[in-house]
A = this chain, B = another copy of it.
Amino acid sequence: MITLTTDYGISDGNVAALKGVIYSIDPRAQVADMVHDVPPFDIVHGAFVIGTSYMFFPKGTIHVGVVDPGVGTRRRPVLIQTVSGHIFIGPDNGLFSLVLEREKIRSIHELVNPKYFLPEVSRTFHGRDIFAPVAAHLARGVAAAKFGRRLQAVQRLDMFSVQVNKNSVSGQVIHLDHFGNVVTSIPSKLLKENDRSIVVQVKGHSIRGLSGTFGEVSKGAPLAYAGSSGYLELALCEGSLATRWDIQRGAKISVTYK
């Protein structure tokens, strides 16, 4: 099983080219589109999508991620294997940061062996010319060591941090989802569900207490809740909170206990 996450969009043929390359090398590959509408060059968005989805796939799944503004420069192409048995292939630019907040690394390999690339490697489309063929060869059984030498570390984004104080927790907005829900960097396990004594603050607005689900507040009302990705989220019931309060990624969030 190979998953694909890119910022290629779905109106050009780039994603199709990746699939074609994979099937040409391994006709029995099972390819699953994860997300192709990561905003162009938005590594943080890509990191969020991959980091909150990969764990639902079977162990042994190969996750190809391509959000790659540095394509063709000296940023390294890498293959990361986790102790838990997941595999990630893509540019070493922080795209797997959220994965690595959750997983222990078993090995990292740089992808340098042209034997496993397309015969001609362009300087602007490594998804097609390097990452897709490496994933397909790996799926066919080629050992990770064949692709290149081991590395000690990869880039990590400093985006998913949280600060725990005595009577408060502070973090930031890490994702605005399709519905306009606001995902924060604060793990919800740090909070207690239905705890009426907390107050969440963002951009001068306050939400008091945690709700269990959208239906507990009236349509159009704001709520805070333990999101399904494991983080504190803020939302409107059947509306977009991001639009209503003009919230951007990176906005500061604080939770205080009263």
Contact = CB atoms under 8 A, between A and B. Distances in A.
B3 A58 contact: no
A58 B27 contact: yes
Nearest to A37: B11
Contacts of A122: 226-228
Interface residues on A, range: 35 or more
Interface in A19-54: 19-21, 23-24, 27, 30-41, 45, 48-50, 52-54
Given A11-B178, A16-B49, A214 B124 contact: yes
Interface stretch (A69-77, A140-148, A159-167, A250-258): A69-77
A225 B56 contact: no
Given A56-B17, A125-B228, A128-B228, A49 B214 contact: no
A38 B20 contact: no
Contacts of A73: 213-216
A31 B15 CA distance: 14
Q: How many copies of this chain are found per oligomer? A: 3
Nearest to A41: B238
Contacts of A214: 69-73, 124
Nearest to A36: B10
Nearest to A45: B11
A37 to B, nearest CB: 4
A1 interface: yes
